[in-house]
Each structure stands twice: as structure tokens, then as C-alpha cells.
Structure 1
Amino acid sequence: MPLALLRRPDPDHLDIVHDGECYRIAVRRRPTARRLTLRVSAATGEVVITLPARSAIATAQRFAASHGGWIAARLARVPERVPFADGAVLPLRGVPHRVVRRGSRSGVTRAEAGGAEPILSVSCGEEYVARRVRTFLEREVRGDLDRAVAHYAVKLGQGPARITIRDTRSRWGSCTAGGALNFSWRLILAPPLVLDYLVAHEMAHLREMNHSSRFWTLLGGLCPEVEAAEAWLKRNGTALHRYG
């Protein structure tokens, strides 16, 4: 009987203990993997172990346990999470805003000036704050994306098939072969030049589906802030995943 039919289903995760702390590790098996690997997401803090087709779970458990110190060190670098809650401070277009819940009646989330710092005013019950803040941010980024896409569509003489907003981890934006653009809603947290640059970048792929010299020449002609935006993302991009 083939080995694959004899093996028990893999668990969703492994737990290891290091210096009194318990760490949960997600299990992924990939037939193309050649060796055991561990990865800690700098964005979310998720720890993942990847197994080749024939590696045993017991072997993966021992491997993970032997790297407990490495896992702890990587997790210590992950920025602290900031939930969307009353009193939380989060950036809106790069400017810190404090979330302030006003009353328990259902209402619209909006940005406004409040004393010494800008605020996001949220009118709803406490249990709905996170949802309303997220909805507000997605609505705001949709408007900014639509305006930027319209601007570059005029410059290029063509526009995308559609625009999709997601919560991506590895890419801030992408362009499919069919001309559909995808963006992370978290771009609304960054300064406007970052969103503008990423729209220009993905729009340029409508004409050049590559990263050739022709692509970079086209992009440079569309957007003057390429270097500044990429530098900001390199320094601060990971931290945007700590919100919400």
C-alpha cells in the first residue's frame, strides 16, 4: 500500500515549549519541498513549518523544538498588535488618528479634528467598533484607489478590467494577465504618495507585464515618487499589518 495511504492526516499545528513559553506552529506539507523549513511572518507573527512529502510529523516536532530560541527571537521582533478599539491610535493616510466611540447608537464612522489630535469618531455599540472602523477604512481606500486609477488611466490611455480590495500579506498590489488590479486595504494607512505609487506601478503592468527596463522607464514617466515610496515601504510596510 502506498505510504501516502498509510500516513495519518497531518495536524493543523504543533505546539512546542521554550523557556516556559508555548508556541503554536502551523503545519504545511508541500510535495516540492526538499527539507524542513521554519518561517515566522514579520507581518502577523504566524509561525509555519513546511514539510517535504515524506517527512514524519515527529521529525517536524523535534525540528521545531530544537529551534525554539530562534522562534522566540523572531517573534520578539514582530510589532505589537493594535486592535480597532476605543482609544486606539492608527494612521489614516499616514497621520495618526485616535479612535473615539461616541454613544451606543448606530451611526457613520468619520474622520474629524478633535483637540490636539485628529480622531476617528465612531457612533455605535462597543462590540461594533472594530467592524465600523474597518468598513470606514475600506470605503476610504476605495475612493483613493478609484481616483488614482482614473488619473493614470488618462495618462496610459487604458484602464483596468476591475479593482479588488483585499487584505494581502505578501503583496501591496498586483495585476493579473486579464487586467484586473488587486490592492491591500491597508494602503489607506500609509502616506498618499505610497498608494499613488502602487497604483501607478500596477497600472504600468497593464502595458508591461514584467519588470524589464521598459517597465521601469514607463513607471518613472508616470510617477515621480518611485524611490521615495519604495523607501517608505521598506522601512514601514511591515508595521501596517499590526493594525486591526
Structure 2
Amino acid sequence: MTQHFLPIGPNGEPQIEVHLRRSKRARRISLRVSRLDGRVSLTLPQRVPEKEGLAFVAQKADWVRSQLSDLPGEILVDLGASIPFQGELLDIALGSAKTVSIESDMLLVPSGRKAVGRQVEAFLKLQARERLVAASDRYAQALGRPYSKFTLRDTRSRWGSCTSAGGLMYSWRLIMAPEEVLNYVAAHEVAHLDQMNHSPKFWALVERLYGPFQAERRWLKQHGEKLHRYRFA
């Protein structure tokens, strides 16, 4: 992977970092702007000269800048901000308890402790672990296949994964999505314990474990990127 930069735009827009990679499978030049983190990726077939690829990017500079300008802005998690929890927006405020808690439509954070954002992040991770473990256990029992390992990460390219050794991994940001979406992702990954593919047989298994899932899958495609807007530093 090599890095290049689009030049400063005609109206003073800053340079844009472009990540270039080559692919044996690629049949044509492709340019992608990630909706999750704004990463600009240029993929070239093996025999296409780098110069040709960079010329293609230069031709698409206006499109790239347009895509970047449409990305949702970041939200710093702090007092007075709002954050989704299982699909419901909660206002962050100070509370009198010694731990983070939910009261009505408020997420209450103790005062005099570490930074608000870090407290909220720790609370969300704990809640995500509890709910995702429970969902994974439930679907694994229904499938009749145990998983070997459970991991939470802050992944940007996928909401979950299942290894060939039976290890399940999830993005803890799923706790911000509606409960049904979190459960669908758990059923999806548990189904991979039996079917390590996305064949019709796999999707039939997901539906057997979870039920109709099209609405939840659609929600992730339409709204999932927004869950990465929140910064906890």
C-alpha cells in the first residue's frame, strides 16, 4: 500500500491522502471513498501503470471532494451532547451515582472522575459485551454449535466476524444500534459457525436463527456509518 496526495483544490481545499494498492483480481481501476472514515482508496490491476491510476484520481478530484463533504461530521462525546443507546438518543448529563447510569432519556455520568467521554465509552463497551454474549449464547445453543472465543473491537470495515476456529468478534458500537440490529448481527456471525460463506444455505440459516432480517440489514447499510461519528477522547 502506497500513499499519494491530491493537490490543493482550486478554492483552497486541502490536499487529500489517497491510498493506492494493486490487486491481482482487479480488472479495472477503481476509486472508493469509505463512508465510515473518509479513507480514499485507489485499486489498480497489476499491469496498469501507477501514473495512469493517479491521472484517473486527478480526473475524479471533484467527485472525491464531493463525497468527503457529504460525510457526517464528528460528534465529541461530552456533557450536553447526545448519543444513541440501543437506537434511542440519550442526553449526556451529570448524575449523583458513582457509576454511569440511564434514567429516562438521560445518560448520567459521575462528576469528579475521569473524562466524560472515557466513562461513556467504558459503559457502552460493558453493555455491548453483556448483550452480545447473551445473544451469541442464545443463537449458538439453537444452532447446537458452541463458539470458541468472544472479542469486542472498534472495527470500521465490518460489524462482526467469525473465524474458522469458531471465534466471534463484534464491533462494540453495535450497542448504539437498535436492539434488533445487534441481535441480527449476532445471529449472522453465529450462523458462520456452520456455514463459512454467504450462500443461500447460509442466509436460510440466519433466518432460522433470527427470523426475517431484511429490515435490520437495511438499517445497517443506511445508518451504520453514523455510529462511527462519535469520538470519546
Same fold flag (TM > 0.5): yes
Structure 1 residues 166-209: Cα deviation after superposition (integer angstroms, max 9, x where no partner): 11222111111110111111110111111111111111111122
**Which whole-Å CA distance do the structure 2 matches of 1:144 and 1:162 have between them?**
15
**Which whole-Å CA distance do the structure 1 matches of 2:176 and 2:216 have between them?**
13
Larger radius of gyration: 1
* 1:40 equivalent in alignment to 2:66: no
Corresponding residue for 1:4? none
Corresponding residue for 1:190? 177
* 1:22 equivalent in alignment to 2:17: no
Helix, strand or coil at the partner of 2:7 = strand
* 1:176 equivalent in alignment to 2:163: yes
Amino acid in structure 2 at the alignment position of 1:99: I
Deviation at 1:25, TM superposition (A): 0.9
* 1:111 equivalent in alignment to 2:98: no
Structure 1 residues 61-82: Cα deviation after superposition (integer angstroms, max 9, x where no partner): 6554443211121012211211
**Which whole-Å CA distance do the structure 2 matches of 1:16 and 1:126 have between them?**
45
Q: Which moved more, 1:131-140 or 1:44-53?
A: 44-53
Structure 1 residues 73-105: Cα deviation after superposition (integer angstroms, max 9, x where no partner): 1012211211212211111000001122459xx
Corresponding residue for 2:62? 69
Q: Which runs of 5+ in 1 are unaligned?
A: 1-8
For residues 150-169 of structure 1, what are the structure 2 equivalents within 5 Å? 150-169=137-156
* 1:81 equivalent in alignment to 2:74: yes
TM-score, normalization by structure 2: 0.84
Amino acid in structure 1 at the alignment position of 2:41: V
Identity %, equivalent residues: 39
TM-score, normalization by structure 1: 0.81
Structure 1 residues 27-54: Cα deviation after superposition (integer angstroms, max 9, x where no partner): 3343646766432111112233456778
Corresponding residue for 1:145? 132
Contact kept, 8 Å, 1:173 with 1:198, in 2: the verdict is yes
Helix, strand or coil at the partner of 2:64 = helix
Contact kept, 8 Å, 1:174 with 1:181, in 2: the verdict is yes
Contact kept, 8 Å, 1:92 with 1:189, in 2: the verdict is yes
Q: Which runs of 5+ in 2 are unaligned?
A: none
Helix, strand or coil at the partner of 1:38 = strand
Corresponding residue for 2:205? 218
Q: Aligned pair in 2 of structure 1 residues 218, 31: CA closer, same or farther (>3 Å)?
A: closer
Q: Aligned pair in 2 of structure 1 residues 155, 127: CA closer, same or farther (>3 Å)?
A: closer
Deviation at 1:134, TM superposition (A): 1.2
